[in-house]
């Protein structure tokens, strides 16, 4: 039977976690808390579901893998939530990927990068992110999803 023409697919967000975020909950609880990467992904999925969005998650320790995932998001995602990890402070290539796909994105940092080492204060994404969430712990992922989805067209 033919599919009805007016069935819209659930809009999707890409959740990107960069290098070393697979260590969440395993090392450095004083800085990053005790939640794991799986916990963080669930926080984002639940927040997105409240707004009528689904989430595709990727974590990688490899810059090119992250860039490929961002490029692929152009095909089927409405926006991106990204914690770029240490690439925040170093990567023009990640910035170029995000501006290249021209999807609105939220930059999120678990820790307060402005209250740590000087080199963490600069972000290559700061002026191109639609949303920035800094220092709210892992709950910041929900804040980032809520703020980003509120900027996007709501599913009818």
Q: Can you give the binding site for ligand CA2, defined by CB under 6 A?
A: 20-21, 23-24, 27-28, 32, 83, 85-86, 88, 109-111, 113, 120
Give the nearer residue to ligand CA2 in terms of CB position, either 23 or 130.
Answer: 23
Give the nearer residue to ligand CA2 in terms of CB position, either 21 or 78.
Answer: 21
Smallest separation (angstroms) from ligand CA2 to the CB of 132: 12
* Angle separating helix axes 140-151 and 37-50, nearest 10 degrees: 30
Report in angstroms the alpha-carbon separations of 60 from 24, 45, 64, 73. 13, 18, 9, 15
Q: Which of 62, 71, 109, 124 is catalytic?
A: 109
Q: CA 24, 90, 84, 123 torsion: positive or negative?
A: positive
Element (H, E) at 73: helix 63-76
User: Is 104:94 a contact under the CB 8 Å cutoff?
Assistant: no
Give the nearer residue to ligand CA2 in terms of CB position, either 64 or 86.
Answer: 86
Smallest separation (angstroms) from ligand CA2 to the CB of 21: 5
Give the nearer residue to ligand CA2 in terms of CB position, either 122 or 154.
Answer: 122
Smallest separation (angstroms) from ligand CA2 to the CB of 96: 19
Supply 118's token pair. Answer: 């000087």
**Is 71 a known active-site residue?**
no
Smallest separation (angstroms) from ligand CA2 to the CB of 33: 9
| Among candidate residues 24, 50, 38, 49, the one with its CA nearest the CA of residue 109 | 24
Q: Which of 32, 71, 89, 141 is catalytic?
A: 32
Q: Which residues are catalytic?
A: 32, 109
């Amino acid at each position: 039977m033919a599919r009805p023409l007016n069935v819209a697919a659930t809009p999707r967000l890409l959740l990107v976690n960069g290098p070393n975020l697979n260590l969440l909950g395993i090392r450095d609880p004083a800085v990053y808390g005790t939640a794991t990467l799986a916990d963080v992904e669930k926080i984002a999925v639940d927040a997105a579901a409240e707004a009528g969005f689904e989430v595709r998650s990727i974590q990688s320790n490899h810059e090119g893998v992250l860039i490929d995932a961002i490029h692929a998001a152009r095909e089927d995602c409405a926006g991106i939530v990204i914690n770029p990890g240490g690439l925040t402070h170093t990567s023009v290539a990640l910035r170029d990927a995000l501006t290249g796909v021209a999807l609105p994105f939220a930059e999120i940092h678990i820790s307060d990068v402005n209250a740590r080492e000087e080199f963490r204060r600069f972000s290559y994404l700061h002026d191109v992110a639609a949303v920035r969430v800094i220092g709210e712990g892992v709950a910041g992922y929900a804040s980032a999803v809520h703020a980003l989805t509120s900027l996007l067209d709501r599913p009818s």
